[in-house]
Structure 1
């Protein structure tokens, strides 16, 4: 008989994918050992209330990430009063655990509706220009950075190491996003727009994204979207409300021939892995949702996601990804308080 450890490794080689259910709290030793040899470690999360205790900052710092990525809803403001918005960002910046992280780790990210200023808001928000400047102040963006004068907070960041590079492409799914279609026939909040109607990114950002992918020489390319891209049947905000935009994104990724493209998303107050095979793409497209940091969907009882891999995590957690440039592998983990392992996915690119 095969040794159990050998069998597990064999299965991973065949499937290129390993998931662990939230109930299985013991870390996978093979994954842990392999991930310890990673060349780059990225931590990310979303849905963080500045006035609630966050027990995860010390855990995030213990993973020794090379980068922290905000996935949106970095504070909960929901206001068009910039003085109030600024005070809430100040409150978050005063959190001791977050201060400790900022001292040690570079920080980038995007916003979502609650730090944007309007619940489920998009292009119609009349204080978006002013809110953008407050967000950029919070992120410590230089006054001469192009984001200070462009419409939207989208940006790209490349991180080079002796063994390879990672490009993080931060999207803005708020500034240009057009109207959603209410679902009046069911209990769901929204339904998909008529195909071809509306946009998530807007023309200028779409053009920019295509160039960023087409010109990328990075070993891995991460798209940061504040809302989920693949999960599309829950009735809340998702790229699935604009199905033509999902198709356009998949085509843009395939046409670019960019290596190792994956998605980081938030918003939902749950964490989950979604995955799909796309014709013309040599690897699966994974959407790693990590949410939330200070509060979660504790009443979660299930919802359909045709792309889900493994189980949903509905307690507070953050996401961690460890990359190996030589083997083109990514180890993705959902981690809770005291670094409790809640779920994991291994993917080779």
Structure 2
């Protein structure tokens, strides 16, 4: 795939050279002085694409006020915009203070059912977002709930891609323009990570949206394709580069974990806690996974709960001893791309069986009862899995 991307970028640079010749080109004459690399040439071109050429989501509901008490959050991932999404329609009938779409919100690297490598113009990705904007189920959810979003590989532009995806700057612009983030703080820096806090002291919820794509180093391919626990990737060896978030995002996260908050919802598009499978997850970079837990420890951040997606199966996890309190994770996936009815996957941290049918998640916070509940709901809105957690078990006084 890296060779294919290199060829596409080199082709784009060749086209850019034509822009200086009489008669014009598909690319504008913007290369003065000449770009130092093909990627730089592409990024100059991308900057010149008018915002009107990029798809935008329907007008949404403003985020809650900074002093608004949050007691219910919905979460979902993996939504193919080319297919009906009755589970998203069901989600839109719920009541909640906030809705988090946490990755693979479209499948912009697919043409129908086949995966495809995006061309530099990212036509398929733009078309996918434009299609999502017209879906009745999405419009219903968008018009009802304040939303925060993260991206994963399929709305980043390439399956399992990381920092070497050459069109990532344009993918970021497409993402931020569609979701209305281009004028926010997140639009001012590379990557799509950002955070928001809601509620007064004693009832403050912080939502941290991580970007596990833009800066991520390469994964280590499996040495036994398809084998259980080694399906696609194996953990990166000790001495090889491991970077999930990039130095700037790591520093930013350290600062955010020191912001005042009682409950901290940390959103990662890929799973954080499990280690038994060979799909994308923090476990593919053991040192980075350890670094994440160490950062929570060193900052003294209380009330951290992880929300993840990606797996086309729902899970709930709980583990002691990696944080100063119990670490908890809810994986909500997928809205309309279920591949099975049952799963035998079982991690020692797992609470209950996996749930592969279409699903979405809910985080319910009972401030008076001092409990937080992680809930998986099926396509009809019925509770499929649940874990009730006392505030004291996650370090909340």
TM-score (ref. length: structure 2): 0.74
Q: Alignment partner for residue 66 of structure 1, among 83, 91, 97? A: 97
Deviations 1:136-173 (A, max 9, x none): 122122x4323223111000011226971210000000
- Which residue of 2 is the match for residue 31 of structure 1? none
User: Does 1 or 2 have the higher relative contact order (CA < 8 Å, sep 6+)?
Assistant: 1
- Which residue of 2 is the match for residue 225 of structure 1? 268
- Which residue of 1 is the match for residue 197 of structure 2? 158
1: CA distance between counterparts of 2:194 and 2:368? Answer: 27
Q: Alignment partner for residue 154 of structure 2, among 101, 110, 114? A: 114
1: CA distance between counterparts of 2:186 and 2:201? Answer: 29
Q: Alignment partner for residue 297 of structure 1, among 336, 339, 360? A: 339
Identify, as 1 or 2, the structure richer in strand. 1
- Which residue of 1 is the match for residue 9 of structure 2? none
Provide the alpha-carbon RMSD of the alignment.
1.8
**Structure 2 unaligned spans of 5+:** 1-68, 110-117, 392-397
- Which residue of 2 is the match for residue 22 of structure 1? none
Q: Alignment partner for residue 185 of structure 2, among 136, 146, 153? A: 146
2: CA distance between counterparts of 1:39 and 1:324? Answer: 10
Q: Please state how far the C-alpha of 1:264 moved relative to its aligned partner.
A: 0.3
Instruction: Specify the SS of the correspondent of 1:311.
Output: coil
Q: Alignment partner for residue 245 of structure 2, among 193, 198, 201? A: 201
Q: Which moves more between the two structures, 125-134 or 89-98?
A: 89-98
Instruction: Specify the SS of the correspondent of 2:190.
Output: coil
Which structure 2 residues correspond to residues 1-349 of structure 1 after superposition, within 5 A?
Answer: 40-78=71-109, 79-80=118-119, 81-141=121-181, 143-160=182-199, 164-185=203-224, 187=227, 188-195=231-238, 197-214=241-258, 216-278=259-321, 281=324, 283-298=325-340, 300-349=342-391
Deviations 1:6-33 (A, max 9, x none): xxxxxxxxxxxxxxxxxxxxxxxxxxxx
Distance verdict in 2 for CA 1:279–1:179, change over 3 Å:
closer
Q: Which moves more between the two structures, 236-245 or 181-190?
A: 181-190
Contact 1:335 1:342 in 2 (8 A): yes
Contact 1:223 1:264 in 2 (8 A): yes
Q: How many residues align?
A: 309
1: CA distance between counterparts of 2:311 and 2:327? Answer: 19
Instruction: Specify the SS of the correspondent of 2:107.
Output: coil
Q: Please state how far the C-alpha of 1:299 moved relative to its aligned partner.
A: 6.1
Instruction: Specify the SS of the correspondent of 1:164.
Output: coil
Instruction: Specify the SS of the correspondent of 1:151.
Output: coil
**Structure 1 unaligned spans of 5+:** 1-37
Distance verdict in 2 for CA 1:57–1:77, change over 3 Å:
same
1: CA distance between counterparts of 2:243 and 2:159? Answer: 18
Contact 1:46 1:266 in 2 (8 A): yes
Distance verdict in 2 for CA 1:260–1:162, change over 3 Å:
closer
Distance verdict in 2 for CA 1:329–1:133, change over 3 Å:
same
In the TM superposition, structure 1's runs of 4+ consecutive aligned residues that sit over 3 Å from their partners are none
Deviations 1:5-60 (A, max 9, x none): xxxxxxxxxxxxxxxxxxxxxxxxxxxxxxxxx95110011000001110123322
Instruction: Specify the SS of the correspondent of 2:165.
Output: coil
2: CA distance between counterparts of 1:326 and 1:209? Answer: 29
Q: Which moves more between the two structures, 97-106 or 263-272?
A: 97-106
Deviations 1:301-323 (A, max 9, x none): 42242211111001000001111
Deviations 1:91-138 (A, max 9, x none): 111111211221121111110001100100001100000000111122
- Higher alpha-carbon Rg: 2
Contact 2:74 2:363 in 1 (8 A): yes
